[in-house]
Structure 1
Amino acid sequence: MKNKGKVQLVIALLILGIIIISSILAPLLAPYDPNLTNMASRLQGPSIKHLLGTDALGRDMLSRVLYGGRASMLLALTATTLSMLVGMVLGVIAGYYGGVIDWCITILANIFQGIPGTCFMIAIAGVLGPSIQSLLLALVLTSWAGFSLIVRTEVLCLREEPYIEGMRCLGSSDLRLIIYHIIPNMINNTIILFTTRVGRCVLSIASLSFLGLGVQPPTPDWSVMINDARMHYRSAPHLIIVPGLCIFFLLLSINMLGDALRDRLDVKNQEVLEC
């Protein structure tokens, strides 16, 4: 089981590393400007000149694929980080102080979690208009509740631990207990949750961009490329297959990384495996 987890972690890091490095080095690796159009060479298949062919506007697919992961990954990391920060703050407050505060935050989180995420994101992006800001707002509003409820549960367990009671008797303030003793003891589960939510966020961004409510053309983006290629899926299937495989491998690597981190960082899971 341990060897399997190590292999899974190596494969996940390898795939994710290739995607991230190729996106960062896209200006150096891309043979053409990703937005350069050439109608004379539109809808060409893979060739020596264009290794992955060209799209309906004659743009080089390899160049657009190399640039295409930038927007999705940056947005996913930003939205997940903001969601985690909001959810962690509210979850810690609810779990540590309890009472009416806990009741209000839990009810609010349950309301947001009960709303269908995709429909809510489409509604927000539709009302505010398609833009990066509305996309980020939609992702944060639909993701913070999950972080909040899980963090709240962790804090409810940790605040009753004997060492917390001992530190409280020694005069430690609530802020000190939260920052130095509660948050560090739940950071492992938070990291695991973060990695899994990044994958969901990438998929949500791809869905909204495909519907025209996320990343806007002519920005190179894998989901936008799939949307643009719908009319040509019979004559040029590579226009859909290539960016679709990129999204698939990105999600696969993130999920594999989350599973590997869970096996390594989850203390309860390690105890079960040792038994």
Structure 2
Amino acid sequence: MRGKILLTGGSGMVGRNIRAHERAGEWDILAPSSRELDLTDRAAVSTYMEAERPDLVIHAAGRVGGIHANMAHPVAFLADNAAMGQNVILEAHRVGVRQLINLASTCMYPRDAPNPLREDMILTAPLEPTNEGYALAKIMATRLCEYIRREDEGALFKTLIPCNLYGFYDKFDPKHSHLVPAIIHKLHVAKQTGAETVEIWGDGTARREFMFAGDLADAVLRAARDMQALPDLMNVGLGHDHSINHYYGAAAEVVGWRGRFTHDLTRPVGMQQKLCAIDRQEAWGWQPQTSLPEGLKRTYRHYLEVTQQ
């Protein structure tokens, strides 16, 4: 008999990649949309958990966005994400769910933490101001899982901290997109319009670690197979990073744009580096399989498909 997974955020990028993974068929996956289940409504979440009683919860839902969105709407990023995390985690535990994977974010790490970022650095120094609200909500959910484990050893409530992601089902609208999809969109438009220059925020030397979202789905579904072996708190990443300039250059090769880049030094760029330590991940015995060139090629093909529909 197959187990039942409740996947929150099943319509988002991470959720859709999990549902599309080849091992998703090993489970009966419930993935209610926000219209079907409002995760900020504690009573609604309680009723749903009571009715379905899943074997495993994967909490991938959240209000997400880039620097611009986080700076423009800090109240919503804090309040909505905190409510979702609290409702899902506490109600799952209340109805007797024994396994939960909480998906967090590297935004939880201090702004000036030395790289690579290790799991024990959380809450050791001030956060990056541009996404502090989102980070605080994710820290709360992570600590909640840890506290439940402390009080109830048999409750396998564990947290994965993915590095930055890109890939299928991403948001390509500049108002809502993260770095890599934003780059792909900008370069495609530049190619179509014959633009000779494309602007990069800052000097482009800030470094980021971007993993193909399909690889995160692989890690999550591997964890679902054996929650006992999964560390209570673990980064999921590549273990290496690239400069923003490198991402622009690599994407330009894939898109086929041959212009030159300019830099707007007045724009915010966030943390100078966000590189995950992957010691725990390596000890767990997993590593991502998709290279940056291959991931960008697959993502650009996906972008063309969804924008030309």
- With structure 1 as the length reference, what TM-score do the two structures score? 0.27
Higher strand share: 2
Higher helix share: 1
Larger radius of gyration: 1
- With structure 2 as the length reference, what TM-score do the two structures score? 0.25
